[in-house]
Structure 1
């Protein structure tokens, strides 16, 4: 029961996000913004892979690390648990805990896959810029992809505990 309830919430959230992006991105934005940016990214990737992109060596390593650190602070966890669920799940023993476990597991997998995909997209840039072997860059990317969900989870937990301490007297 809890699994299907969480799946319904996830599907509803993704449907809302798709509807939101469909309303924002019409054909003119797709034609004048998304297509040129996509072509530019493909062109630069080909330049990087062929070794003709000299700008890669001029990018400071601190900027690359700052970008990954800022990516780590993005709000990655979403609370699938709503205040009205306390009344609905009160009759089912352990339902709230199971709902939270499934939610955290879903977010861990999603964040890991997203971060691993971003590292694979940035692999040519990191390989050339850090001048390491391919195995070293892949293992570092894998470790960072595994650590990202934990970092996001603790950022979420600390912000949630701060919120609960602030509003606990009002609830």
Structure 2
């Protein structure tokens, strides 16, 4: 078996699994009454945009293009680089490391192709709005998305290095600083240099450098366990996004037994000095929350989405977005609290007691205040400077 044949086999199994998850969610009734009408509505609206009309055509003229910059910066942080490695490869392919290296290289090219398709689709979808409200040439418009694609691949390469490196504070801080600097550079170039025609070469140079860096790392198998763990999480990411609002159904927790303790582990040992049934439920919730990256990521994405929404909305609609953020953040925190405290891990403490509901309301209020305060700061800054 060659590395190319192994790659296509793994890719086929990956998408077959995602298709099975999709078929489980979308049955014929959902497809008939929701998916098909929604698809027809999207096609109809896009045709209206091409004709200079449509549902959001007037809103695009009022909002301008500031929302595109915020959305692009958020979109830079999405995506990942596949490896298609399995845990059994460490045993069965131990004497054929060249197959794993070829598999990772093909997976790298596949991931870059997916990133190119994503930014290409976004450019096509926004083309009617740009043609009517944009103030730059077509070369600058296409160069803008080429530059965003280059920054996106560079951020993916940095994230890959950060995850595969040792889990030390210096390595993690350095990786995040590189991401922040590249996001700031992308925002500057797109916001203030949209007319510069060197956006094309800048995007191409960033893409080539990121491919060379990740291509060189494909030869190394020192972070095999971390890559297998990340691949398992990516395989379950679509199913997790569907089941995150469910109280009863949960995905299996993908664990890495050799992973180091989180940064907040020492600080979470003594959250409460006084012990009671009330503080026990709160301590359980916050300890699990700060040690589980998946739960924190859900709250982070929710807050980031509302932050972006508040930044691009007009001044009169910002209060409504703040109120919606308060309601949704409390609801999302209630789902996490019920999921974490679902199992009877605290012996002798009843879940239906008054202490449980007091602890639940207190924890939800704290999460709600943090998310709302952040969005309020974003609303004030956007009202003053945008």
In 2, the alpha carbon distance for the partners of 1:131 and 1:32 equals 40
User: In structure 2, do the counterparts of structure 1 residues 24 and 43 end up closer, same or farther at CA, with 3 Å as the change threshold?
Assistant: same
Deviation of 1:146 after TM superposition, in Å, equals 4.0
CA contact (8 A) 1:112 1:146 kept: no
Once the two structures are superposed, residues 62-99 of structure 1 have per-residue CA deviations (whole angstroms, 9 ceiling, x without a partner) of: 32222222222223323311232122222125333222
Q: Cα distance, 1:24 vs. partner?
A: 0.9
Alignment counterpart, residue 76 of structure 1, candidates 75, 80, 83: 80
1:41 matched to 2:45: no
The answer to whether residue 55 in structure 2 is matched with residue 51 in structure 1 is no
Aligned to 1:94, what secondary structure does the other structure show?
A: helix
Call closer, same or farther: CA 1:160–1:34 in 2, change over 3 Å.
farther
What does residue 67 of structure 2 align with? 63
**Is the 1:49–1:124 Cα contact (8 Å) retained in structure 2?**
yes
Instruction: State whether residues 73 and 155 of structure 1, in contact with CA within 8 Å, keep that contact through their aligned partners in structure 2.
Output: no
2:165 is paired with a residue whose SS is: helix
Specify the structure having the higher radius of gyration (Cα).
2
**Misfit runs of 4+, over 4 Å:** 162-166
* Higher relative contact order, chain-length normalized (CA < 8 Å, sep 6+): 1
Could you list the runs of 5+ residues in structure 2 that have no partner in the other structure? 168-222, 227-255, 262-386
CA distance in 2, matches of 1:126, 1:153: 30
- Cα deviation for residue 134 of structure 1 reads 2.3
Gaps spanning 5+ residues in structure 1: where?
none
Cα deviation digits, residues 114-143 of structure 1 (max 9, x gap): 321222122222333432222321232233
Shift of 1:46: 3.0
TM-score normalized by the length of structure 1:
0.80
Match of 1:106 in 2: 110
Q: State which drifts further: 37-46 or 158-167.
A: 158-167
- Aligned alpha-carbon RMSD (Å): 2.7
- Check 1:125–1:6 CA distance in 2 against 1; reply closer, same or farther (3 A cut): same
TM-score by length of 2: 0.39
**1:36 deviation in Å?**
2.9
Partner of 1:121: 125
Instruction: Render the CA deviation track for 1:28-53: whole Å, top value 9, x for unaligned.
Output: 22233223322332333233222233
Aligned residues: 170
